[in-house]
Amino acid sequence: MQLISLIFWFLLLIFAPSSALAVECGDTIPTNPTDLNKYIDSCTNKIKETKGAQATLSAAISNLNAQISLTKAQITASEKELLELERSILDLATKISSINYSLNDLTRLFALRVSETYKQSIRNPYLLLLDKTNFNRLLVRLEYLNQARDNDQKLLIMLERTRLDYDAQKLLKEKKQKEVEEVKLKLAAQQASLNNQKKVKDNLLQTTKNDEQRYQAMRREAQNRVIQLANYANSRGGGTLLSGTTKCDDWGCYYNQRDSQWGNQVIGSSGMPLSQVGCLVASAAMIATHYGKTLTPLDIASSTNPFEYDTADMRFTWLGAVNGVTVSRSPISCSGNGCLNIIDQELAANRPVIARITAANIAGTHFIVITKKEGDNYLMKDPFEVDGNNISFTSKHQISSLTRIDKVIVN
């Protein structure tokens, strides 16, 4: 009896439907839609769980692995969606071709019926009344004409319905084709994000040598960079909120980190607000708009992709896209006048730069966008100042305060 029970449970385990088995992030990505959605949910929950627990290297790696698994699952879902759309378009093309043939046949048939009815109707039936022997022929002809009229009406209705169906299927096919293009764009963004995530993970393992102490040292460095941003803001009176500061023109948009639209928004999972340490976030968003992207400081701060670990320190290469946009920076260390040649080269190519300045007498740093050179004067967008849009760099800062120039690429 015990042997039979064991066999029963063994067979039940083998033949149990896949949906009854647990779906865990990091396992083999499922192929059926139900389990795939469960897998995506599992990875999303795991990212949330590990987001606030990245104080250790293992937690950080776990978070990255979950993000990679999530992106892979999203790619699988997008590929399935694309395949279904392409199949649907193929089916629609076949159906449209069939409807087109029917429409042509009905049109030809209707034209023949109209012609035949016209021929029958032009003979005067009253002439047949003169000949009593042909009276029955008159009745038959009148019945024929009545039936022909009814059939013509039915044929006309069929023709109109077929035409409407043809138009509807064509519109549906066009809609599906637009959806295909949208899914292809989404898929390309997901694949780019996956490649980026793998690079970030590899870089983390390489730079830390998979060593916890080294990781903690790097994390402290990131936290110290954020503290320096806060020191600068505090030296300028703190992160008092402003309103109505956003200005957009042919260049792009000016964003102030202290604007009430997003000033209180916490950056990533750091707990630090934009108004206090968001100068680099606002600068990156401004340059993104210069290249025609739709991106705000709120968008960037609401994501963890752009930031190191659980801090507000922005990565030079983002972990993933934000609103379909990625911003990459190539930093060039310099000092004072030694930075100007780098700035000039980028501006000459119509590429604005992000400049880091170091405040005098305090351990504080700040980031601004330099947009244009007029004579010997540089125009900037300062994300902290009340009047920071398109103002002279030297009206607020000294050339000697420049300590780094970031070349920026927006995708």
Domains, in order of start, for the chain:
23-210 (1.10.287), 225-410 (3.90.70.10)
Residue 409 has a pLDDT of: 98
The answer to whether the CB of 299 falls within 8 A of the CB of 318 is no
Per DSSP (E only), the strands in 170-314 are 247-248, 253-254
For each successive 10 residues of the chain (411 residues), what is the average pLDDT?
Answer: 55 50 86 90 86 76 90 93 88 77 66 62 53 56 61 67 75 86 90 84 86 91 96 93 98 98 94 97 99 98 88 91 93 98 98 94 92 97 97 96 98 94
For residue 56, the one-letter residue type is T
> Can you tell me which residue has the tokens 């009276």?
135
Q: What share of the chain is helix, strand, coil (3-state, %, to 5)?
A: 60, 15, 25
Positive or negative: CA dihedral 343, 199, 194, 269: negative
Q: Is 280 exposed, middle or buried (0-12, 13-18, 19+ CB in 10 A)?
A: buried
Q: Which residues pair with 374 in a beta bridge?
A: 377
pLDDT 10s digits, 294-307: 999 999 999 988 99
Q: What is the pTM of this model?
A: 0.64
Residue 18 has a pLDDT of: 46
